[in-house]
Amino acid sequence: MIGTSGAVHDGHLSLVRASAAVNDVSVVFWAGGGRFDWVDSERKYQRDYDRDASLVASAGAGIIFAPSNEELFPRPPLTQVRLPHLSTGVPGLEDPAHLDLIAMVIAKLRNIFGPCRSYFGEKDWQQLTMFQRLAEDLCSPVEAVACPTIRHHDGLAMSSRNAQLSPTERAAAPALYHGLSAARAAIVDGERDAVALSSHFTDTVRTAAVEYFTAVDAATLTPLEKLEGDVRLLGSIRLGSVRLVDNLGVTVP
């Protein structure tokens, strides 16, 4: 199972290819950026089903599962699926209401699909962590497979949001990756203080508005003061009206 909210790009297609290489059947759940009245969350995506269907089929998808909002949730659910430590434990990351929604959707999809492997990109580390922990906590017969972030030649992580950037903003967008790389380089050089580390990120980004930068435990998203173990550097910048997110991992001895 591979999920997308539309505007399919090479990052999505890399997940389809990874699945098609080892599974008998690869199914793409296509949400198309649907919005539900019973949750205060909205995401805007390009919604071209025919384009996306052609692309995922060419990458190896055998089935496209594209239920309408009414089919997926005939009535507003009375059940709640939330991982508050992962959705609100680090203030300023992704919209908690949106994360609660996708946790509910993923839990429902796992019941629909049954035992399977589900593929997620590391670019959205917060969501990936949620999906892995959801399977572990509920003993779902699902293996949540993490796949590497796919990047453009200049380091920018592939994302549906990139299409919303103006040419000037697109030229500035790699600053996010460069800032995260500078912070990781500082760790390799011996930096262990999370507060001091943030200056390496902000000094490198400079031309963009910083939404957040934080170093967290990779598995639990717990913010760190002293860096040790498996660390994930989470960063976000805003260019015009577009909010870009990215992350890099590093293991600290």
Residues with catalytic roles: 12
Q: Which two tokens stand for residue 67?
A: 């239920």
Separation of alpha carbons 12 and 56, rounded Å: 8
- Strand order across the beta sheet in which 209-217 lies: 209-217, 229-239, 242-252
The residue written with tokens 């997110």 in the block is 245
Among 221, 41, 57, 204, residue whose Cα is nearest residue 129: 221
Q: Are 56 and 1 in contact (CB under 8 A)?
A: no
